[in-house]
Amino acid sequence: NNPGQEEGTVAPNPTTDEFQLMGRQWTGESATARILDLSGREMGRYKIQAGQTLRFGRELKAGQYMLEIRQGTEKVVRKLLKL
């Protein structure tokens, strides 16, 4: 299953509050989501199950971040903007 196709939708982006990651299409094993700042420092790590909506980022300061989603050998990266 490729988390880069239907999966990994993040909204709202940009946001002033929190992001939501929709994991409804994941099947089988869980996925891992990591929030990284632009220097690569990990700001948060979360496990996502199929059908789960993950809310995150309320604690982040304004700025740009990367969301890295891994499931098995697949990896997808999304850009995030916190206002």
Q: Tell me the C-alpha distance between 12 and 36, whole Å.
A: 18
In a domain, 49, yes or no: yes
Block residue for tokens 């990591």: 34
Q: pLDDT, tens digit, for every residue of 2-61?
A: 444 455 789 999 999 999 998 656 667 788 999 999 999 999 999 988 778 899 999 999
Q: What is the pTM of this model?
A: 0.84
**Cα 77 to Cα 3, 17, 55, distances in angstroms:** 10, 21, 17
Q: pLDDT, tens digit, for every residue of 21-35?
A: 986 566 677 889 999
pLDDT at 6: 52
Q: Please, which residues have CB within 8 angstroms of residue 61's CB and are 6 or more apart in sequence?
A: 82
In a domain, 25, yes or no: yes
Q: Which residue range is the domain that position 22 belongs to?
A: 9-82
Structural domains of the chain, count: 1
- CATH code for the domain in which residue 45 is found: 2.60.40.1930
